[in-house]
Structure formats: C-alpha cells, structure tokens
A and B are shown apart, each in its own frame.
Chain A
C-alpha cells in the first residue's frame, strides 16, 4: 500500500472536517478510525482549531508526518455531516486509496453556496428575533433587523477580504452601534441596549465561550485556550466597535 497517499488522504479529511467547524474530538477520532481501517495501528493525530498533524509509521519504514494549517473558517454543518458519512463509509469498506481520495474531493466539491439574499434574510430574522427575545418591542426588533442586515452585508465581505477576527468583530460592532444609536435618536428604536445586544448575537461570541469550556473539561486544553482567546477577542472587538460608534453618535448629536 502507498502510505504517502494514505497520509495525504487522512490529513485532507482532518483538514476539511476542521474547516467545516467540526469539534476537535471528532476530527481526531475520524482520522484515527480511517488510519485503523487501512490497517495502520501506529498512526497518531493531533488537532487544534487551526492546525492538524497526522503521523504514521508503516511496517518496516520510517515514520512519516504531515501537517495542515487551517485558516479562519465558519461553520458548515451540511459539509460536516457529509464528511462524517463519507468517513463511516470508508471505514466500513476501505476502497482503493485513489478511489477514496476521489470520493473525498467529490464530497468537498458538492457544497452549493447559499444565495446571498437568503443569507441576509437569515441575519435579519435572527437579530430581530433576538431583540424580541431579550424583551424588546416590535420597533426595537425592526431596528435590530436593520443592524443585522448591516452586519450580514459587512462581515461576509470582510471575511472574503481575509480580515482578521478582531477587526471583523470591531467593524460589525461599529455598524450595530452606529445604526442602533442613529435609529434611537431618530425615534424609531426605543431601547438602545436591547437593540445592540440582539444585533451582536449575529456574531455569536457566546457560542465560542461555551465551546471553550467544553473543550477544557473534555481535556483538549490547547484547543480550549485557543477558543478562549477567540471569544475574548471577539467580545472585546464588538464592545470596542460599539463604544466608538456610540460616542461618535453622541458627539454629532450634541453638535446638531
């Protein structure tokens, strides 16, 4: 068997699983099962949210290792489920390595993009729902929806430009703060704090901090710490952006 191909296949699987937002334990277990299915008992895999390392020792050969860096990514549950199903299939009946690599490429290429309009509608829906959820009125929800629309327009655009996490959170928070303060001053919104809290939920900083706790308690210390840093950075970015926007609006409103 060509162990180089097996190594590439398994680290590609780990890479794409991480890229689709799978948990660390799922990535490590999937790669481990795949290696075992192809008869490698001495394979090791180590993953943290932005890197995966696979190493194996083929019988009678030198150990080989491959490392893949994983760039900043979102969450794509559909792709993760597809990859999980693929991995199960490969482990149940390991095909020829070339065929397996083709199947992986086919699974990864299969993902159609959500239309932009639908995505924007989702941003509006979730931010206005959160404004109501936190106790806002219908007018607050309307303002929250507008803030969500702004976040939905700006943040994916910045992601495409390859902007870092902190800056993205800051710009998102700035847009929310600017719109929320402007709309409240114009008399459309009623509770500015509820509008802002609802609107920033689109960037989901709370999810990361819960996942950080889960990773730490499950024993994945490294990835837990990476996520904690991510959660604090996102929170600080959003708070900073909102704060700047609010003080700016107050200053302008004071002059007028």
Chain B
C-alpha cells in the first residue's frame, strides 16, 4: 500500500498535466502510467541503491526514457509527450522552490545545499534520458545505413 498510493497520486497528477498539455485519449493514460511506473522504479531502487536519491532518479529516468521510446514506436508519435509529462513527478520542482526561498531569506548555506542537490537531481535525470536516447539514435542510424546499403544492391 505504501508503494501503491504514491504511484496512484503520481498517475493523477500526470493526468492533470495531460489535459493542460492537450494530450487526450489512450495517449493520456499511457503517459500517466509512465509517470506512475517511473515513481515505482524510484521507490523500488531505494533499498538496492542504499537510499541514494540521485542514483534512484537516474534509474527512474532510464526506465522512463525506455518506456517513452517503446510507446513512441507503438503509437507512432514523438516521444516528447511521454518524456515531458511522465517526468513531472520526478522533476525537482520543490527543490528549486526551496532553493530560491532560501536565497530570498538570505540563508546562503541552505541555498547552496538545496541548490546543489536540485542541480544534481536534474543532472542525473538528464543523464538517464540522454543515455537511452543516444543509444536509440545510434541504433536508428545503424539500421538506416544498413537499409540504404541493402537498397543500393539490385
């Protein structure tokens, strides 16, 4: 139950964003499901990775980009929608708020601590996405080359 409820909330939050970003129909459900599953990955990798949240975010991002690429193939549409909306439960929105709040309070120490933590979360999410998308790109390029080579021969 303690795994299920946060994922349900993540699902609902993503569903709200689907409406705002104008995704409808089965796409909206799949996007939101991606958000919920990514949060599940984040929670499950916790005990394995020694509760280091930066690493947990990395694995969640890897899972999510793989999910987005698969769904983009299945539904024949860009992966952007999935990457954008399903990422919302993961992104450090609270972190950036806390960071700027500390800056406005004049608490430099807290500003630096939360700021660096926010940046490292954002960084690990970005690395997770880039690892998968670079691999997919390389594979596409390889396929493309093979196909154009094959087409050249009679």
Chain A contact residues, CB within 8 Å of chain B? 21-23, 26, 74-81, 84-85, 111, 114, 118-119, 121-127, 129-130, 132-134, 196-197, 200-201, 204-207, 209-210, 212-214, 216-218, 231-232, 234-236, 238-240, 242-243
Contacts and interface: CB of A to CB of B under 8 A. Distances in A.
Nearest to B134: A218
B80 A26 contact: yes
Contacts of B24: 78
Interface in B68-96: 77-78, 80-81, 84-85, 87-96
B140 to A, nearest CB: 12
A80 B78 contact: yes
Nearest to B13: A129
Main secondary structure of the interface of A (DSSP, over half): helix
Given A126-B16, A129-B12, A238 B80 contact: no
Contacts of B118: 209
A201 B103 contact: no
Contacts of B104: 236, 239-240, 243
B5 to A, nearest CB: 8
Interface of B: 5-6, 9-10, 12-24, 77-78, 80-81, 84-85, 87-97, 99-101, 103-105, 118-119, 122-123, 125-127, 129-130
Report, nearest first, the 4 A-B pairs whose CB atoms are least far apart: A126-B16, A206-B91, A206-B93, A213-B126
A137 to B, nearest CB: 12
Given A78-B24, A81-B77, A206-B95, A133 B101 contact: no
Given A205-B96, A239-B103, A243-B104, A210 B91 contact: yes
A214 B130 contact: yes
24 contacts: A21-B21, A22-B78, A26-B78, A74-B20, A74-B21, A77-B84, A84-B78, A123-B16, A125-B15, A125-B19, A126-B12, A126-B13, A126-B15, A133-B10, A200-B94, A204-B91, A207-B93, A209-B119, A213-B126, A235-B96, A239-B103, A239-B104, A240-B104, A243-B104
Nearest to B6: A133
Contacts of A231: 96
A84 B77 contact: yes
A122 B93 contact: no
Contacts of A201: 13, 88, 93-94
B91 A130 contact: no
